[in-house]
Every structure is written in structure tokens, then in C-alpha cells.
Chains A and B, each alone.
Chain A
Amino acid sequence: MTATATRQPVRRHGTRKFRLTPTMSVYIALVVLLVAGSVLVGMRGGVLLDHGGILNILTRGTVLGLVAIGQTMVILTGSLDLSVAYLIGLCSLIAAETMAGDPGMIVPAVLLTIGFAAVVGLVNGLVITALKVNAFIATLGVALIIRGYLENTYTGPAGSVPRGFQHLGYDRIGPIPVSTVVMLVLAVIVWWYLTRTKGGYHVYAVGGDEEVARLSGIRTGRTIVTMHVLCSVMAGLAALFLVSRLGSGAPYVGTDAGYDLESIAAVVLGGTLLSGGRGGVAGTIGGVLILATLDTIFDDLGVTPFLKDVVRGAVLIVAVALYARSQLARRAR
């Protein structure tokens, strides 16, 4: 090993040049947005990043962040999950109805919710890998199945959570909500998993080229299924946070916020390739914060909610167009 170390210098040619990675550009964009937003809000006599502003951004970012972390994992394998929004709705109901205001039921409810989410993820993964159904169709199908159940069974909010459980949603350390801390801790764990462990390496391999991964002896099906299970579990956690804030379960709490497409938008905005194999959680969190900051800025500026959608759509397209550009430039060298 020491022998190779001495030979190392021969190998250093030009690979260490500084390159702007997509993740860096996301955070640069976030900083620019924060500065520009502060100026705009400042001109109106407000302050963007005061105590309330930060709280606002983080609160918005937490639930989306959880969902987007899960979405990142599946997208990296070359899959995607359109079922998260309805799953969040259903999970919120499961949690709230199981608790039914009884503090003693918190733990069983949480376990049940997470377990149910995991099963849905398992179904998604198995439909994709065992039945060979395109991920778009498979998760859309599962989304529709859940939606039918919700439409058929619920007309509005149901269940209620005990006061103790609401701490999860409302407690904070300084300006930082506890839930945000939990989300960030999970993000770090997933980041570690994806970039440092064997399983994570295999995620990138499967997303990069499933056939190559298979020929190299990686159990591609298992990798994809695992990521779908984890993605759904993240959606389940998101549902728990939402329930703790709302106090009850609501069938459309996930779809009203558009967490399915919104989370995909955040992932893509964060520089992860929709076709898989490249990107990561760090970028995704940047993407989530950008979306949350945009929302907060618009609120402070008193812009109508409809304009938000327009801007969000435009930001998404422009961001991906820019990535595609740099991709091209790199290929041309």
C-alpha cells in the first residue's frame, strides 16, 4: 500500500480541477434567492430572515423535505414514486384514527402508520421489479388505488391526536422546529447511506445502468424495492408530522399540497437526474429550501397564491434546462 502511495503522483493529472457541481450551484442559487428576497422584502419594509421568516421557511421545508428525501432515493435507482401524496393522506388518517385522542395509543399508532407505509412501498417496489411495470405506471396505479379508497371512505378530517403528540409538530429549539431537526438528521443518515455504504453504491449503480449492475452481481430488484419501502416510510413520517400539526387526519392533506409532483420537483431542482444514477440528498435539501423560500418570499410580498404556481413551474423548467446545458457542455468538452 505504501508502494502505491509513492507511485500516486504519476496519476495526478488534471482530475482535481475545480468544478461546479450541481449541488454547489443549488446552494449558490439558494443564497442568491435569500439575498434577493431579503432586498425585495426589505424594500417593502419587512424582514425576510427574521425569527418568523426562518421558522416559516423551515416549517414549510420540513414535510416536503421528508418526502423529497425518500423521492431522491427512488429516483436515484431510476424509478420514481407518484403515490406519496395519497399515501400521506391515508397515513394521516391511520395515525389519527388509531390514536383517537388517547396518549397511550401514540406508539402503536406510529408503528402502525410506518408499517402500513412500508407495505405500500413494498407493493410499489414489487410491482415494478417482479411484474416489470414501468415505475410511472406502477406508482400511479397504486396512487389511484389509494385515492379510490379515500374517496369512498372519507368525506373529511377524521380521528384526533392527543395533546402530547402535538409537541412533535410545534416544539422548537430557538427558531428551529424539532421536526426540522429530525428531518435534517434523517437527511444526514440517508446521505451517509447513499455515499458511504455498499447499499448506497448499489443504488447509484442500479440507477446508472441496471443491466451493468445486474451483470456485476448486484441484486437490482432488492435495491429498488428497498428504496421504495424507505421512500414510503418517509412519506409515512411526513404524515405523522402533518397529523401532529393538524390535530387530526385529513384524506387530501398530501394531495392538496401536491407532495407527489412537488417532491419530484425538489429532487430535480436539487440536481438529481430524473433517469437516475446521479445526484443526491444534499442537492435535494437545497431544492426543498429554495421552494420553501420562494413561498415565504411570496407570502411576505403578499403575492397571490396563483402566481406562486406559475413561478414554481417556470423555476423548475429553467433549472432543468440549465442542468441540461451544462451536461451538454461537459459532453462536448
Chain B
Amino acid sequence: MTQTETQSQSRRPKLASSTIPVLAVLAVLLVALAFAGSAYQEPAGYLALLKRAAPLMILAIGQYFVIVSGGFDLSVGSLVTAEVVIAARLIDGDESATLWVMLLMLGIGAFVGLVNGAITTRLLVPSFIVTLGMLLVLDGAVFLWTGGAPRGALSDSFRTVGRQGIDGVPVIGQLPWSVVVLAVIVVLAVLFMRSPTGRTLLAVGDNETAVWLGGGRVERLRTLAFVLSGLSAAVAAILLGGFAGVSAQVGDGLEFRVITAVVLGGVVLGGGRGSVVAAMAGALTLESLFSLLNLLGVAGGLESTVQGVIIIAAVAYAAVNWRRKKP
């Protein structure tokens, strides 16, 4: 039939092809790490990297769901801070409180996501504004409650998840708990994105009218994305609290760092495009890069500058590439 038309148009890139650039960059960085630092000549070095990167990777997975469905979640950074501060205050060194506080944290994360999602979908406020408002509310509310400075302390068992691991594993020695948690979440996220719900979420970011007319519950799906993002912040808070301890700055700038990571993974702001694995790989790439810069003796202060250059370069690369592919 209309041969001329089909031929003059370009073929859709294979599913993985948007993931390939970030994986290639990641591979180069990982090799470079081995040359730059002796710690990376053994598996344990990479494991430590993964352990450091786990919170950001988990946040990236959460943010991916929101971005791919067409939104933004700027509230994750302050949510992480809020969660850690709340946990410290509630546990206050009491071992027996650990478990229920962790569950409560997950509950708070889901609730904040639910509120973000509900306001975005029911009141039709752009998610940029909603989550910006949520950021202000969380920042204010937490410190209102703690009176300006975080109080209390986390219990040792709470900190185990972020710090410790399973000892005596062959070859690598210790398998950090955070890596285990990360692995479980990655598997769940990939399975979710392959499920009917996951596919529909992607379609919502592309054309929500078509999904609604196709029998999908658009509001629920978009709200679900925010809930998942909130949950990811709660998990990240558990890991970060354990790893870095209690501070009022623990989540500072995380929202922008995680958006950088997701965008670095080739996920397009505005929705409908990108894979969850790539988003996560973007986070790992970002952390690897920081580690590498660290090893090369680049001052920590310049981390932001590098992050800024990368985020622009990644998107410019994708945009220019995309234009070239157009007929």
C-alpha cells in the first residue's frame, strides 16, 4: 500500500536503544574506576559503590513512575529528611520501636504520595506546584514539630539496614542489606512495568484520554505513581538514615539529584518514554561519576557543577539525536 510513506519514515528504536547510551557511559565509568582507585580492583569496591548508590537508585525508580506518567515529584528530598527526623524522634534509641517506626515511615511515604496524587488529579493543579507546595509544607511541618533541630536517635537495628550486610558470602565477603533491598525493588519495578498496570501507566503519560476511553482509571494510575514515589522516599530514608545518621540536611537537593539521574537515563520529562532500568542506571552512573571525581581528587564542591553539566549534556544529546532520527 502506501509504500512511499512508510519508507520515508524512520523505524522505532528498539526498546533497549534508549537504554544503551546510559549503560555505555556507565560501563566506561566502572572501568575507569578500576584504573583510578585500587579499591575498585576487587568486587567489594563495586559493592560499596552500589551500597552508596542504593538510596538514589531507589528514589530514581520512584521518580521514574511519576515522570513517565507525565508529572514531577519535587517533594522527595524533604520527604526523606522528614522521614529520618521523624524516625529519630520516635525511636529515640529504643530498639523495640524500630519495626513499627519503619512501617510508619512507609505509611507516611505512601500518604504523602497519596496527597500529592490526589491534589494533582482531583484539583488539577500541575504536579510541579503541588509537590513544590508539599516540599514547603514538609520542611515547615517537620521542624515545627521538632522545634528547629532534629532530636532523638536511631536504634542500632534501624541502622543495620543502611550499614551492615550478610557476612561470609563467597568472593565478595559481605553482601550489604541495602544492595539486597535494592535488588528486590529493582525486580519488583521491572515486573511492574511489564504488567498491564505498568504498560497502562506509560500510556497515561503519552495520551491519557486514550487510556480513559480505553477503560483505564487515569486518576488512580497517576496517584499510584506518586504513592510509589513516596514509598521509594521512605525506603531511601531508611537506608540513608542508617548509612549517614540523623541530620536535618540528609535529603537536601535529593529531588534535583534524582531528577538528574532519571533524565540521565534517557527518560523524557513530560511522560510516555523511557525505561525503569535506564532510570536506575542513570542514578548509578551519577554516583559512579562522583566516586570517580573523588578519586581523581576533584574537590567535592564541584560535584554540583559536574552534575549540572551532565544533566544538560544528557538531554541535549537525546534531543539532538532525536532530531537526527526524524525524517
Which A residues fall within an 8 A CB radius of B? 127, 131-134, 136-138, 140-153, 261, 264-265, 268, 274-275, 304, 306-314, 316-317, 320-321, 324-325, 327-328
Contacts and interface: CB of A to CB of B under 8 A. Distances in A.
Given A310-B137, A317-B125, A141 B269 contact: no
Contacts, number: 147
Nearest to A310: B140
Given A274-B128, A316-B132, A317-B119, A309 B137 contact: yes
Given A141-B311, A274-B129, A314-B133, A148 B124 contact: no
Given A134-B269, A316-B133, A148 B305 contact: yes
Nearest to B312: A141
A145 B134 CA distance: 26
Q: Is the interface of B mostly helix, strand, loop or mixed?
A: helix
19 contacts: A131-B320, A136-B259, A138-B312, A141-B312, A142-B308, A143-B308, A144-B307, A145-B308, A148-B305, A148-B308, A306-B141, A306-B143, A309-B139, A310-B136, A313-B134, A317-B119, A320-B126, A320-B129, A325-B124
Among A136, A264, A307, chain B packs the most CB atoms within 10 A around the CB of A136
Given A141-B311, A328-B124, A132 B323 contact: yes
A193 to B, nearest CB: 26
B172 interface: no
B140 A309 contact: yes
Interface in B252-296: 256, 259-260, 263, 269-270
Contacts of A144: 256, 260, 304-305, 307-308, 311
Given A138-B312, A317-B133, A145 B304 contact: yes
Interface of A is mostly: helix
A308 B140 contact: yes
Nearest to A273: B126
B179 to A, nearest CB: 28
A104 to B, nearest CB: 33
A148 B301 contact: yes
Name, among B301, B302, B312, the residue most crowded by chain A CB atoms within 10 Å (CB to CB): B312
A327 B126 CA distance: 13
